Amino acid sequence: MLLGATFSHCLPCASHNVIFVAAEFVGLSFRRTVGIIYQLAFTVGLLILTAVAYVLPHWRWLQLAVTLPNFFFLLYHWCLPESPRWLITQKQNDKAMEVIKRIAKGNKKQLPPSFQNLKSEDEDREKLKPSYLDLIRTPQIRKHTFILMYSWFTSSVLYQGLIMHMGLASGNIYLDFLYSALVEFPAAFILLLTVDRIGRRYPWAAAHVLTGGACLVTALVPDTLYWLKMTAACLGRMGITMCYEMVCLVNPELYPTSLRNLGVLICSSMCDLGGIMTPFIVYRLAELWHELPLVVFAGIAFVGGGLVLLLPETKGKTLPETIEDAENMHRQERSKENTVYLQILTSEAAPK
């Protein structure tokens, strides 16, 4: 029953910085692809975990095997540069230029001469010092924060809960876990085809509905139709995987640069809370009725599907740079791909 539970619980802790970096360092046209593809490494890890759990059936050795690799995250300090967007908001333009030149050199590109003079629109203002209150001070950001917190919580509870509930069912736990992990690949493929065509909100809401419906089918189908229950369970796993990948993609898109890392950190921390509560939800409710946790999961998923429709659409929009930009996202009816947030001062543009 430990299989997958510990590993899935580590997702927000290990990846919220990756989410932040993927959003800030990748251009608009590649944000979708990078934001979804990098999460396939998590799915590959689940497949490897199946083999590791089979070889190391004792839970202490399994826990040790999935924990020790986390020390490699210390290498982030030397591998990942600071975000140029964030450096500019902190009035550290020289450091931002160093990072930009390093990126250009790595991509074998030449920077335009005009990039030698770089500043933000708000250069004359004080250096931004984000605080926790900024996440709830203004109405739209407050709404985004609460919905994203619930989405992270829902994703954690359902993802980990479906894995734990699978451990309560009869059958080969290793094969069942392997089959359910394999459906995460088509989940990523579906999102790659839809989020830049349809948008973020509707596929996200549809994934919640798919998860909730699959949970109900799994709960109501008799045990004699085990193949049908397993199919519905796999569809539920695919749906909640899509929800997980969508919240990772959308979360940084809704916060301004000064609040982006803090917003992702606070919202994704609800994933940890969900991981703590999930065992109690699954095992306590299963004592009353074996399928009751799935019914609860369905209700949670349907509520989440309705809430994400209240978020603004971020398809084709540049990342907000200021709190005002984030507050006005719900009013934007057209893409702002041509909006320039970083002013390049050139001799031609200077007033004569």
150-203 per-position pLDDT tens digit:
999 999 999 999 988 877 765 678 887 888 888 889 999 999 899 888 999 999
* Residue type for position 332: Q
Q: How far apart, in whole angstroms, are the C-alpha atoms of residue 293 and residue 30?
A: 38
Terminal CA-to-CA distance of the chain, rounded, Å?
72
The pLDDT assigned to 71 comes to: 86
Structure tokens of 101? Answer: 């030149």
Annotate 126-138 with b (16+ C-beta within 10 A) or e (fewer). eebebeeebbeee
Cα distances (angstroms) measured from residue 108 to each of 30, 32, 98, 102, 104: 18, 23, 15, 10, 6
Q: What angle do CA 316, 317, 322 make, to 5 degrees?
A: 170
The mean pLDDT of the chain is 81
pLDDT for 155: 93
- Cα separation of 227 and 198, whole Å? 33
* Dist CA 4 CA 199 (whole Å): 30
pLDDT of residue 38: 79
Contact predicate 156/274, CB 8 Å: yes
pLDDT at 6: 46
Q: Where are the domains of the chain?
A: 1-80+135-315
Above 70 in pLDDT, residue 279?
Answer: yes
Check residues 83 and 44 and name the one with the higher pLDDT: 44
Q: Contact at 8 Å (CB) between 54 and 113?
A: no
The two three-digit tokens of residue 338, written as one number: 């041509």
Token pair recorded at residue 140 = 């739209």
Residue with the larger pLDDT of the pair 296 and 42: 296
Contacts of 131 (CB under 8 A, 6+ apart): none
Q: Of residues 197 and 29, which shows the higher confidence score? A: 197
DSSP 118: E
339 or 56: which carries more pLDDT confidence? 56
342, two tokens: 């970083």
Question: Which class is domain 1-80+135-315?
Answer: mainly alpha
Asked if 319 and 257 count as a contact pair (C-beta separation under 8 A), the reply is yes
The arithmetic mean of pLDDT across residues 90-95, rounded, is 78
| Pairing of β 118-120 and β 342-344 | antiparallel
Q: Is the pLDDT of residue 81 over 90?
A: no
Three-state DSSP at 120 gives strand
As a whole number, mean pLDDT of residues 279-296 equals 93
Q: Is the pLDDT of residue 295 over 90?
A: yes
Tell me the one-letter amino acid at 108. Answer: K
User: In terms of Cα–Cα distance, which of 186, 207, 319 is closest to 263?
Assistant: 319
Say whether pLDDT at 317 is over 60.
yes
Where residue 199 falls (left for φ over 0; alpha for ψ -120 to 50; beta otherwise) is: left
Stronger pLDDT, 126 or 291, i.e. the higher one: 291
The alpha helices in the chain, defined as continuous H runs, are 5-9, 11-25, 28-37, 40-55, 59-67, 76-79, 84-89, 93-106, 134-137, 139-168, 173-182, 184-194, 201-220, 226-250, 257-288, 292-308, 323-327
Residue 347 CB neighbour total at 10 angstroms: 9
How many Cα atoms within 13 Å fall on the side-chain side of residue 32?
Answer: 19
Angle between helices 184-194 and 201-220 in degrees, nearest 10: 150
231-267 pLDDT tens trace: 898 899 999 999 999 998 899 899 998 888 889 889 9
